Chains A and B, each alone.
Chain A
């Protein structure tokens, strides 16, 4: 009996989400009195071994097949189904990222098991849990009846922390149909190097009140001074002022910056669930009753068109 963590990675790069999943897995495994194992596969899997051990994997199952290479939801999903059949874990879990949920769903479909996505709290016996609906704006108490319990944890539910374990690596040969490489990544298009909206330490966002595409220039300037990124609300992308990849929200990006500077954003539920992972929030708004203002740590009451340039100027002054 084990808690098996699906180690999501991209060509050997382990995202923070996988470390969060290992951290959550340790407390679930502790409750069940079983060890944490990890399953990892594909191109660059060997680059992840050390860190998986560092974050608590007693054993690391390196799944191997000639048909496992770069990420393929179907091939990786079938490999996981094979691993679950031979390792018989009591719980299999991942972080509720795009890939994490996709792999768990692929596994669930193949193993004909239920899968509870985006849990925020899990009972010690893993037969009941609280999970996110509406991107986290609503919670559902769910029950789970299954021999092997498949769950994912909502991102940012816990902060990752290391806890070194043996991390003993063993190879596990699995059957993967050659045909399933049909969903392997064929190519990658890199649009931005360096920090991204989801990893930026500072996000400067604007809402409908910004008023136009051009009026985002001062936000760009402030974000650049702070080494951050510009985000926006759904109203902004619906108006075509910013690309959808800049949207913070339930249907956009979940952010977790050190500080989120939300200007001219009322803070509707759809936006809030994308921003609630922020460690600190500063709201700039003319309306002291706006949701974003009441939920913020700090607020400036005023017109963002005047406040943002003033902040940029002050930052520049102090930088000398």
Chain B
């Protein structure tokens, strides 16, 4: 099954946009059925390929037209990332540094697209324990928010967008956690999702 699914995903790169739009929801369903962690083991560059497909079909437009599929992708993305990241030394080390100089053990981050319904949140603590959810945490519960065009958020998810230094993405929150506390964790996590191996 894995080989067939891998082939399907690889083939998407050569498909015209219209065809990708029709097969992508099915592919996401199959990945879910197969198990995201197992799939990442089989195909470490899974996210790179899926996001390339989403970018090709205009992720913002696709997300607006098919929000369920967008949410399916987001669930798979965070599920997989958490499964692999919680065992990854770089990620664990980065999480362990959260309390340095501050009396907090947990950070909550919202992600919001300004051109599509993409909304998700992610919570991490100093023990490298993660959780995520679709939709946004209330302002009072968030430490910060990263927002901007869907495509830029997708780049961020692959570790290809700069955090800070006024990138294409904007943020809400104190500069401190964004620049110096959260960035190492996100960098380590998104190094996994951005793996091209």
Q: Do A and B come from one complex?
A: no
Residues on B close to A: CB < 8 A?
none
